[in-house]
Amino acid sequence: MVDTIERLDKTAHYLKNRIEFTPEIAIILGSGLGKLADSIEDSIEISYEEIPNFPRTTVAGHEGKLIFGTIKNRKIVAMKGRFHYYEGNDMDTVVFPVRVFKKMGIENIIVTNAAGGVNTGFTPGDLMLISDHISFFCENPLRGENIDDLGPRFPDMSMIYDRDLRKIALGSARKLGIDLKEGIYSYCKGPSYEAPAEIKALRFMGADAVGMSTVPEAIAARHMGMRVLGISCITNMAAGVLDQPLDHAEVMATGRLAEQKFSGLVSDIIENWR
């Protein structure tokens, strides 16, 4: 536990010295959603390899760098490349960047992902505002001795995705003419895609989308009292919804097609953040 705090402090100290300002909002960019980084003004890019204690990403579409700068006159940091449990990381590694952001003094986070559509009313390219999640299949990142410096032993998870921020997101979508869906995201460990029977079970449980990220980061962020907003890009329909196999190339291609819509929405949300 002491070692974890020391590593977090060392990493946060390094980054604060590199950028000399505290971002107001952190953004984790999902697969194929990196175009938002192009709109960051006065950007400072730091490769993960340069950052003490930072892990490395191994997934195609995750470049592996932090980008500090400004969007709509707000100081932000974008994480271009995240860490997944299925890569062989433990959960402490998966949520390490989120904890570093908190140690830097960042109180707000936007978590995004590429997800499979479980709701049969969705189509690839849709954006979904996450209203809640299903974490039954998630190795909880808070398992083990609690780090009291970060948050309480038994944190409340009744409002993980901030209600006021969701209202702002819906308002931005209306202004931009974006049909922003809203629904429940379910986490599965991966890296294999889910079986059709599993998708049927998730739909029965109330899931609208499924993916292999986001939930651990959201849990860790709420544990530390951060305000969380989550957005999924529906890049494919989940197994069994359509009579076709799934592959990562489709996820990346659909993500790229939705990038402009996604970037415009997130930029407007940041402008209206309060």
Q: How far is CA 62 from the centre of its chain?
A: 12
Residue in 108, 135, 172, 236 annotated catalytic: 236
131 noted as active-site residue: no
Residue in 26, 37, 169, 212 annotated catalytic: 212
Residue in 12, 26, 31, 135 annotated catalytic: 31
248 noted as active-site residue: yes
45 noted as active-site residue: no
Residue in 89, 108, 186, 213 annotated catalytic: 213
C-beta contacts of 240-247 below 8 A and 24+ residues apart? 240/195, 240/196, 240/197, 240/199, 240/200, 241/117, 241/118, 241/120, 241/199, 246/116, 246/193
140 noted as active-site residue: no
* The amino acid at 236: N
13 noted as active-site residue: no
Kindly give the residue spans of alpha helices, DSSP state H, lying in 104-247: 163-176, 196-205, 215-223
79 noted as active-site residue: no
Q: What's phi and psi for 123, nearest 5 deg?
A: -135, 150
89 noted as active-site residue: no
Residue in 131, 248, 250, 259 annotated catalytic: 248
1 noted as active-site residue: no
Residue in 26, 37, 48, 62 annotated catalytic: 62
Count of C-beta atoms within a 10 Å radius of residue 237? 20
**Cis, bond preceding 52 (omega within 30 deg of 0):** no
Residue in 48, 78, 79, 84 annotated catalytic: 84
Residue in 26, 78, 79, 114 annotated catalytic: 114
What pairs with residue 77 in β-bridges? 26, 68
* C-alpha–C-alpha distance, residues 264 and 172, integer Å: 9
Residue in 48, 87, 133, 185 annotated catalytic: 87
Distances (CA, A) of 133 to 8, 19, 106, 210, 272: 27, 34, 23, 9, 25
63 φψ region: left (φ > 0), alpha (ψ -120 to 50), beta (else): alpha
Residue in 13, 24, 86, 146 annotated catalytic: 86
62 noted as active-site residue: yes
114 noted as active-site residue: yes
Q: How far is CA 50 from the centre of its chain?
A: 22
Which residues are known catalytic residues? 31, 62, 84, 86-87, 114, 212-213, 236, 248
